[in-house]
Amino acid sequence: MDTLTDNIHVTELTATSFSKTGLLKNNKPTFVLFYKYSCKYCHDLKETWIELGKIINFLSIAAFNSSHRKDILEYILDHDVSYPTLILYINGYPEEIYNKKDRSLNNLVTFCMEMREKYDYVIK
């Protein structure tokens, strides 16, 4: 199977979850892990991402295997795509890219809390 996780705390997105220009069709605030199944760093992040999904209840935590749909990220990013890429979607639009090298659970939770404050008009 080409998915990083089939866990109930992380929603596995498909290509049909996105528009042709990389917008998320779901308007719920969603933090998305873009990964390639062959990426070691993506697999290293798997358990942390599942734990994040257990802790954070005000965002949808999701993952997308972009091995066959790299173009979705190319629409969003203005540079070469690297994996894993973490993007927060608000109202279907990619608003924030998590670009810190430290992807520890603590840092990811802190990022989510900061985004909750920043986008308090959407994230309850």
Strands across the sheet containing 11-13? 11-13, 60-65, 30-35, 85-90, 93-98
- R_g (Cα) of the chain, nearest Å: 13
Listed in sequence order, the residues at least 6 apart from 103 whose beta carbon sits closer than 8 Å to its beta carbon are 45, 48, 84, 86
Give me the CATH topology for the region 11-118: Glutaredoxin (3.40.30)
Phi and psi angles of residue 60, each rounded to the nearest 5 degrees, phi first: -85, 130
Using alpha carbons, select from 81, 76, 99, 84 the residue that is nearest to residue 19: 76
Whether pTM exceeds 0.75: yes
What does each of the 124 residues of the chain score in pLDDT, given as a tens digit? 356 666 688 999 988 898 877 789 988 999 999 998 889 999 999 999 999 999 999 999 999 998 877 777 777 776 667 889 999 999 999 999 998 989 999 999 999 999 999 999 888 7
